[in-house]
Amino acid sequence: MSAQTLSPVRPASPATRWSRRAAGALAFAALIELLSRTGLADPEFLPPASEIVVRAVTLLADSAFQAHALTSALAWAIGLCLAAVLAVPLGLLLGSVPIIDAATRSVVEFLRPIPSVALIPLVALVIGTGLQHRVALVVYASLWPILYNTMYGLRGVDPLAKESLRSYGFGPPCRCCCASACPARRPSS
């Protein structure tokens, strides 16, 4: 078979991709319905897909569910904003000052892998179970990705761009630890 006989693969159109996704979701729902109705899966643990859809529609009309969903969305929004307010300046500091980054690296690397779900009992004991509890967990969970993206984004800036900024007067003229004793800052005689 030669290279000329192979036709190039064209990407599927958006309508084709959407129809494939919908067909996959419908096939999965049919599988759940079949497993539950035939008794292969216990309907108490895996209810039929038709019952799940009916229950979801009734929940959307329930005022208690709407209030809980609004509270969760509010906790998410407040927590994400607080995480950004905390993590972006901290990421800028850690990404631009190597001494501070080295001094805090062990603490950051110790706290980062702790999943926020594992902190639920501790946060419930310390803060209580309210909006503050949810906000604290959202802040903790969102802080690390924002912090690390800010740090590595700052480190990933092209050195030529940094030098261009320095030539226009932004930032220190050199990377000395003592900017006042820097030879570049001393007036030439």
Query: By the 8 A CB rule, do 126 and 136 touch?
Result: no
- Please state whether the predicted TM-score (pTM) of the whole model is above 0.85: no
Closest CA to 116 of 155, 142, 153, 145: 142
Structure confidence by residue, pLDDT tens digits, 135-150? 988 898 898 889 989 9
CB crowding 141-150: b at 16 or more within 10 Å, else e: bbbbebbbeb
pLDDT band of residue 181 (cuts 50, 70, 90) is very low
The structure tokens listed for 105 are: 């690296």
Structure confidence by residue, pLDDT tens digits, 98-138? 898 888 888 888 888 888 778 778 887 888 788 888 898 88
Structure confidence by residue, pLDDT tens digits, 39-87? 888 888 889 999 999 999 999 999 999 999 999 999 999 999 999 999 9
Residue 1's pLDDT is: 54
Q: What single string gives the DSSP state of each residue in 81-122?
A: HHHHHHHHHHHHHHHH-HHHHHHHHHHHHHHTTS-GGGGHHH
Alpha helices in the chain (DSSP H): 14-38, 49-61, 63-96, 98-111, 120-126, 131-155, 159-167
